[in-house]
Amino acid sequence: MKMYTITDSLKSECLILPLFEGEKLSKETLAHDETLSAGIARAMELEDFEGKKLQTTLLYTGEKETPRVLLIGLGKKKDLNVRTWKHAVGASVIFLQGKKYTSLAMVIPDDVTKLFGTKKAARQTVLAVGLASYAFDEHKSEKDARVDPLKHLAFLNISGNEKRAWQSGMEEGDVLSDAINDTRHLANTPPTIMTPVFLAKAAQKVGKILPSVRVSILGKAEAKKLGMGCFLGVAQGSALPPQFIIMEYQGGKKTEKPTVLVGKGITFDSGGLSLKPSAYMTDMKFDMLGAATVLGTIRAAAALGIKKNIVGLMPACENMPGGESYRPDDILVNMEGKTVEIGNTDAEGRLILCDALSYAKKFHPKEVIDFATLTGACMVALGNERSGLFSHDTSMVEKMMKSSEETGEQLWHLPLGEEYTEAIKSEVADVSNVGDVGGRGYAGASTAAAFLEFFTKNFETGESAYPWAHIDLSCSYYGGKGKPWIRHGANGFGIETMIEYLS
Ligand code: BES
Ligand code: MG
Ligand code: ZN
């Protein structure tokens, strides 16, 4: 936390000055330094900088205390929202890290604190800085090729009576960005290192640091005893032992029903015997992002002391081809005895999740939310800046959409429905792990969701066993291109929204 301070001094390697489109700079803008203000105003008169969204201009001031100023555009004032602000903050940090400046100051415009409220503005700002400054470069052998970590960032223009709120928002933002970067790091880690056991150890580490989190791991033998035939079916083609990771955080009363978070933990998805073409196999190290999101959410919730009971269920294994792999045409048996015909071994996520959704029933959950990089179809539909949300529970959907608006992480409500449920019926088993509506794999995101929905039922009554929502994390990793506010790799989508949702 020493990294972030509130200050009145302009002293830094570079001062970040966010400006709206068309905003005229008066010599009072930087109240403490009229010469600096006047210099910037003169530079702006040249109209090289118009304040358009994410426009950057670096100025050399000729002053000792503040040798450089980075102007960053916020776009039109009336369009300011949490995304534009975070993107501007993130883009500034990445730009300046690129120049190897590690001691920065940033002016916080009054409009930002007014629009979001001081505490939230601080939290969002620090979060954007934290996420932007993270780089996955530990495998670069030359130190020079790595990004210099930020050392210090001072915030300017926080008035006396706002300081406490800003400080507490900064602290929250710091906790959140640590948890989110940890999740990104797990996902970025190459799959030979990031095995199911490695992921389980990461969860145990959280349990060690935060005593309010209890972690238990079910190995292959225990999963077998529980009858998790779908989970073990997927795992059987891999040389690596599967791990069913359970994290329990008790922040609420003992008697309070928990929110159960379920996350897909495929540490590498080759497709199995239904092997993916090479171009689709790269990036499949990210197929454990659902599990990593759950881990990060529980870590953040515990660190922030959120007053809720939360259980995380993370089935983790690899999907690999081999002599012992499960096969298309196989019929796997879920832990509740439901049978699944395998049409394609690449539709493995829903199989490991179905055992987790069944297992969730043991906790008599208040609600269940699952996270999974489940379908390419969802990415085809929404691209990589928006995730798909599936749920029949209107109050969960409303709350989730509202939370995502607060954080600027975007969700889009996609349908469940009879045609998708029909599509996964099987001639030879209770359900099939593939199905489409209208041929050619159409509606792949919704048929996958319908498969999951099947396992959220109480099979005795036919009613749903718990309120449930599914998030297809189609957007949780970036190619990096065209997104100057975050670096290549996993982006940690979902944790912030879940924390907002849970608090
Ligand atoms: N992990 C993939 C989904 C995926 C693809 C996530 C691309 C992110 C980016 C999943 O296991 C998968 O392979 N799904 C198949 C399902 C199909 C075989 C029904 C898909 O989407 O092609
Ligand atoms: Mg797959
Ligand atoms: Zn997968």
Atom of ligand 1 lying closest to residue 287 CA? 1
Report the separation in Å between the CA atom of 281 and the middle of ligand 1, taken as the mean of its atom positions: 10
**Which ligand minimizes its atom distance to the CA of 374?**
1
Angstrom distance (rounded) from CA 102 to CA 148 = 7
Report the separation in Å between the CA atom of 454 and the middle of ligand 2, taken as the mean of its atom positions: 19
Protein residue with least CA distance to atom 16, ligand 1? 347
SS3 485: coil
Angstrom distance (rounded) from CA 249 to CA 499 = 13
Protein residue with least CA distance to atom 22, ligand 1? 376
pLDDT bracket for residue 25 (50, 70, 90): confident
pLDDT bracket for residue 41 (50, 70, 90): confident
**Which ligand minimizes its atom distance to the CA of 272?**
2
Say if residue 480's pLDDT is above 90: no
pLDDT bracket for residue 9 (50, 70, 90): confident
pLDDT, tens digit, for every residue of 291-302? 999 999 999 999
Task: Check if 375 has its Cβ closer than 6 Å to any atom of ligand 1.
Answer: yes
Q: Known catalytic residues?
A: 276, 350
* 266 touches 351 (CB < 8 A): no
pLDDT, tens digit, for every residue of 304-325? 999 999 999 999 999 999 999 9
Say if residue 52's pLDDT is above 90: yes
Say if residue 411's pLDDT is above 80: yes
Report percent pLDDT > 90 for the chain: 90
**Selection from 85, 176, 171, 181 nearest residue 133 by Cα:** 181
Task: Check if 347 has its Cβ closer than 6 Å to any atom of ligand 1.
Answer: yes
The pLDDT of residue 449 is 98
The pLDDT of residue 334 is 98
Task: Check if 434 has its Cβ closer than 6 Å to any atom of ligand 1.
Answer: yes
The gap from C-alpha 284 to its chain's centroid, in whole angstroms, comes to 16
Report the separation in Å between the CA atom of 265 and the middle of ligand 3, taken as the mean of its atom positions: 9
pLDDT, tens digit, for every residue of 182-236? 999 999 999 999 999 999 999 999 999 999 999 999 999 999 999 999 999 999 9
Task: Check if 358 has its Cβ closer than 6 Å to any atom of ligand 1.
Answer: no
Task: Check if 349 has its Cβ closer than 6 Å to any atom of ligand 1.
Answer: yes
Task: Classify burial at 247, counting beta carbons within 10 Å of its beta carbon; exposed 0-12, middle 13-18, buried 19 or more.
Answer: buried
Atom of ligand 1 lying closest to residue 474 CA? 8
Atom of ligand 1 lying closest to residue 276 CA? 13
> Could you tell me which residues are beta bridge partners of residue 156?
107
Report the separation in Å between the CA atom of 83 and the middle of ligand 1, taken as the mean of its atom positions: 28
Say if residue 94's pLDDT is above 90: yes
Report the separation in Å between the CA atom of 352 and the middle of ligand 3, taken as the mean of its atom positions: 10
What domains can you pick out in the chain, each with its CATH number?
4-181 (3.40.220.10), 189-502 (3.40.630.10)
Report the separation in Å between the CA atom of 346 and the middle of ligand 1, taken as the mean of its atom positions: 7
The C-alpha angle 134, 138, 141, rounded to 5 degrees, equals 140
State yes or no: 406 annotated in a binding site.
no
The C-alpha angle 395, 360, 493, rounded to 5 degrees, equals 60
Task: Check if 376 has its Cβ closer than 6 Å to any atom of ligand 1.
Answer: yes
State yes or no: 346 annotated in a binding site.
yes
The pLDDT of residue 32 is 64
Report the separation in Å between the CA atom of 285 and the middle of ligand 1, taken as the mean of its atom positions: 12
Whose tokens are 């049978």? That residue is: 339
Atom of ligand 1 lying closest to residue 266 CA? 1
The token pair that represents 235 in the structure block: 């795992």
pLDDT, tens digit, for every residue of 368-387? 999 999 999 999 999 999 99
The pLDDT of residue 87 is 98
Report percent pLDDT > 70 for the chain: 98
The pLDDT of residue 28 is 58
Angstrom distance (rounded) from CA 467 to CA 30 = 52
pLDDT bracket for residue 26 (50, 70, 90): low
Give the residue with greater pLDDT, 241 vs 2: 241
Site to substitute for ligand 1 among 280, 319, 375, most atoms within 8 A of C-beta: 375
Model pTM above 0.75:
yes
Task: Check if 444 has its Cβ closer than 6 Å to any atom of ligand 1.
Answer: yes
Average pLDDT of the segment spanning 399-405: 98
| Lowest-confidence pick of 61-70, 248-257, 363-372 | 61-70
Atom of ligand 1 lying closest to residue 448 CA? 19
Protein residue with least CA distance to atom 7, ligand 1? 376
Task: Check if 344 has its Cβ closer than 6 Å to any atom of ligand 1.
Answer: yes
Site to substitute for ligand 1 among 289, 320, 345, 346, most atoms within 8 A of C-beta: 346
Average pLDDT of the segment spanning 465-491: 92
pLDDT bracket for residue 46 (50, 70, 90): confident
Task: Check if 125 has its Cβ closer than 6 Å to any atom of ligand 1.
Answer: no
Say if residue 1's pLDDT is above 60: no
Please state, rounded to an integer, the average pLDDT across all residues of the chain.
Answer: 96
Say if residue 177's pLDDT is above 80: yes
Task: Check if 219 has its Cβ closer than 6 Å to any atom of ligand 1.
Answer: no
**Selection from 486, 493, 483 nearest residue 132 by Cα:** 486
Q: Which residues contact 402 (CB under 8 A, 6 or more apart)?
A: none
SS (H, E, C) 44-100: HHCCCCCCCCCCEEEEECCCCCCCEEEEEECCCHHHCCHHHHHHHHHHHHHHHHHCC
